[in-house]
Amino acid sequence: MSDCIFCKIAKGEIPADIVHESDDLVAFRDLNPQAPTHILVIPRKHIATLNDLQEEDATLMGRLHLAARAIAEAEGIAGRGYRTVINCNAEAGQTVFHIHLHLLGGRPMGWPPG
């Protein structure tokens, strides 16, 4: 999508603090971090929301979670704990309509989330 900010980050058209890249995924630090570690993991493929996932995206979404695990290990938060979140649509607070996994860690977290 030509007007999608995360597609532009994935293509290197706008800058981001990238921590991980592969053929199908990019991970970068959130512009507005909510925890000491706050990284967004995205597929290069433009998928707007969880509601738009297709069966063919199953492997891609599995890789997305494996990348989150590897990044958590690299960030040194795997053992103490971290949270992954995918917001879907307005009531969940999704503001960027290119699917992304939030990887949050480095501080204690409450439950339920707000």
Single-letter amino acid, residue 99: I
Of the candidate spans 30-38, 47-55, 58-66, 75-83, the one that interacts with ligand DGP by CB under 6 A turns out to be 30-38
Structure token digits, residue 25: 């995924």
Residue 15 or 79: the one with the smaller Cβ distance to ligand DGP is: 15
Is residue 100 annotated as a catalytic residue, yes or no? Answer: yes
Provide, rounded to whole angstroms, the least separation between the CB of residue 49 and ligand DGP. 9
User: CA–CA separation, 40 vs 92, rounded Å?
Assistant: 16
Tracing tokens 């999608």 back to the chain, one arrives at 4
Tokens 């990348």 correspond to 67
- Would you give the distance in Å from CA 112 to the centre of its chain? 20
Q: Which two tokens stand for residue 37?
A: 């570690």
Residues 47-86, mask of contacts with ligand DGP (x by CB under 6 A): ----------------------------------------
Residue 4 as a binder of ligand DGP (CB under 6 A): the answer is: no
Catalytic residues: 100
